[in-house]
Structure 1
Amino acid sequence: MSFSGIVTIPGSGGGMMLGGYLVKRFRLKCRGIIRLCACSMSISLLLAPSFMTYCTRPPIAGVSVAYNGTSTGSLTSSCNEDCGCNTAAYEPVCIENEMLFFTPCHAGCKNVTEDKGVKIYHSCSCLDTSLSGNNTVPEVTDGICTKDCVWLYVYCVLMLFIMVVSFATMSPGTTPGPILLGFILDSTCRVWSEKCDGGRGSCWVYDTEDMSTRLMIWWIAIKVTGITFFLLASFVYRAPKESSHNENPTVEIPDPIGSISMTLDVNGKTDPVFTKM
């Protein structure tokens, strides 16, 4: 189940409406808006540890843990090197809810059966019998290992609050550093897809722990920078002087006979003055 839409849409939309309401409710001028932005960023900065709330994922053979004497960072081992496996598609299989293989091919599986819509793989040469707990052949099922994680709900609540506070000082259409953020996410990728031409495609597996740490550092950096400049702007800002206006402006109304100049006084009365064309 995806919670991204539930968090981002209400959070960003509600935050922008909250910002507009605060400006209107307290009749904030330029200096007040600057301080509101600094306050919003300060609250967001205090919520930076929210990025460290994540659910641990089961280890992936060849990615986060070694298997059959193979070092991490290589999905190919002696048990599957003759299978011709690749990373063009991510089809994870789970072993007893304890370990993931990138695909059935990387687990060395040769046969598959289906039970109530669930694929079960057999004759897998890369399995460790100790994973089953009784030294028997462990069961290999299709899909990612699932475990209950209470941190998911905690994270969603915290991120919703972060979105509201952050977008309270943003205008619609604002994009927060997409290039830098994309670079940070790409730097935490552990397995990339392979294109037919041998190039690199999209990321299949991210290191969630590394991603959480990098995102928190990125968040703290941009918030500290933003707060610094907002506070600096608040101190150096000088309100513009009231410009003098003509107390008796005239409005020229074209007329076929002549022109009528309407002189407006401070009491709102009008005195028509006819002038000849």
Structure 2
Amino acid sequence: DVQLTNKDPRWVGAWWLGFLVAASLVAISAVPYFFFPREMPKEVGERDFPVVLLRNLRHPVFLLVVLAQVNLSAMVAGLATFMGKFLERQFSLTASLANMIIGAVNIPGAMVGIVVGGAILKRFQMSLRQCSAMCVLGMFLCLLLAFPLLFLGCPTQKVAGVTYSESSEFEHYALECNLQCNCPEKAYNPICGSNNIEYISPCSAGCRVVNIDVDKNSVLNYTNCSCISKNGLAGFAKPGTCGTGCSHLFLPFVVLSCLAGILASISHTPSFMLILRSIQPEDKSFAVGIQFMLLRVLAWMPGPVLYGSAIDTTCILWEKKCDRKAACRYYDNNLFRQRYLGLQFFFEVGAF
């Protein structure tokens, strides 16, 4: 009888609630549009559309700034989509805590960076050259702070039959001590042994006794486990994962990522002003439309897919349903960190 809590890696929760709230807010914000006139004054005729589009795309400042923003948006897309999963797997956090930290630290940090960038721009009345220098300086400092993040992480936890085996002859689920148990391959109910090794299920650890807390109707521990032994005696296990055991690196990681986000966001307002000041006055609204179209097509649409594909290559144990891959149970934490943060660092270099 599998019992789930919000600390369990299989816990899903009300994932749809955020989309429901966001959809309601979008619907409410759409109401004022019903009061606009049927037709708006056209500034650019249909025949002039190709000419204006080509003129903007051939503008060197506009094109370079938009390409830099595409790289920066691709980095943000990966952060918004998978940073919660990264923190959860890398530092053994619950999904709710990981997302709460992103909402409480990273997002406000980005907001602070945008406000600071705008305040500096207004205070010193910067020219185009000074705006571009400010963007370059902000991204350079962001790169310096982001680079150490590639090395701040936790190793993959020891999982019997997956990442750790005393005998190389036995693979997934097939440990010598539990061969007579006939454990089902689909069973996934992780437990942490007294030897600090994680097992995929009580069956894979050879546990014969389950101790139940009658008052809370929950499992206390598993005992008489043949695969968990010390001094020749059968060991015990507690429900849940063992974790990665390097929580001391979590705070430095959060601080560095927050500072890097602030520095990257400082360049947001100056880069936007570069576009508005370099484009002809009659093309400004059209250029902004092209800018946001390119950001969505080149960054926000393919970005999460690229990150997801890279993360999937780091999986070392897949759950299978109908002989097809479903959810990943265990990742190689080192590869996960290198490929996920490596992609973010790559896009930061592109924005620089």
* Normalised TM-score (structure 2): 0.54
Residue type of the alignment partner of 1:187:
T
Contact kept, 8 Å, 2:186 with 2:320, in 1: the verdict is: yes
Residue type of the alignment partner of 1:65:
Y
Residue type of the alignment partner of 1:11:
G
Describe the SS at the equivalent of 1:166: helix
Q: Structure 1 vs Structure 2: percent identity of aligned residues?
A: 27
Task: Report the counterpart of residue 346 of structure 2 in structure 1.
Answer: 221
Equivalent residue for 2:222, pick from 110, 118, 121:
121
Assess, with a 3 A threshold, how the Cα gap between structure 1 residues 170 and 126 changes in structure 2: closer, same or farther. farther
Q: CA RMSD in A?
A: 3.0
1:189 matches 2:336: no
Assess, with a 3 A threshold, how the Cα gap between structure 1 residues 201 and 12 changes in structure 2: closer, same or farther. farther
Task: Report the counterpart of residue 42 of structure 1 in structure 2.
Answer: 140
* Structure 1 range deviating more: 28-37 or 92-101: 28-37
CA distance in 2, matches of 1:10, 1:86: 44
Q: Give the C-alpha shift of residue 23 in structure 1.
A: 2.7
Structure 2 unaligned blocks of 5 or more = 1-92, 270-291
Q: Give the C-alpha shift of residue 18 in structure 1.
A: 2.8
Task: Report the counterpart of residue 240 of structure 2 in structure 1.
Answer: 143
What is the total number of aligned residue pairs between the two structures? 220
Task: Report the counterpart of residue 62 of structure 1 in structure 2.
Answer: 161
CA distance in 1, matches of 2:305, 2:124: 36
Q: Give the C-alpha shift of residue 97 in structure 1.
A: 5.8
Contact kept, 8 Å, 1:86 with 1:194, in 2: the verdict is: no
With a CA cutoff of 8 Å and minimum separation of 6, indicate the structure with the bigger relative contact order: 2
Assess, with a 3 A threshold, how the Cα gap between structure 1 residues 78 and 137 changes in structure 2: closer, same or farther. closer
Equivalent residue for 1:199, pick from 303, 324, 331:
324
Residue type of the alignment partner of 1:60:
V
Task: Report the counterpart of residue 185 of structure 2 in structure 1.
Answer: 86
Q: Give the C-alpha shift of residue 200 in structure 1.
A: 0.9
Determine which structure has more spread, i.e. the larger CA radius of gyration. Answer: 1
Q: Give the C-alpha shift of residue 37 in structure 1.
A: 2.3
Relative to total residues, which structure has the larger helix share, 1 or 2? 2
Structure 1 unaligned blocks of 5 or more = 228-277
Partner deviation per Cα, 1:204-259 (whole Å, 9 max, x = no partner): 212112222223433443233332xxxxxxxxxxxxxxxxxxxxxxxxxxxxxxxx
Assess, with a 3 A threshold, how the Cα gap between structure 1 residues 84 and 136 changes in structure 2: closer, same or farther. closer
Q: Give the C-alpha shift of residue 68 in structure 1.
A: 4.5
Assess, with a 3 A threshold, how the Cα gap between structure 1 residues 192 and 178 changes in structure 2: closer, same or farther. same
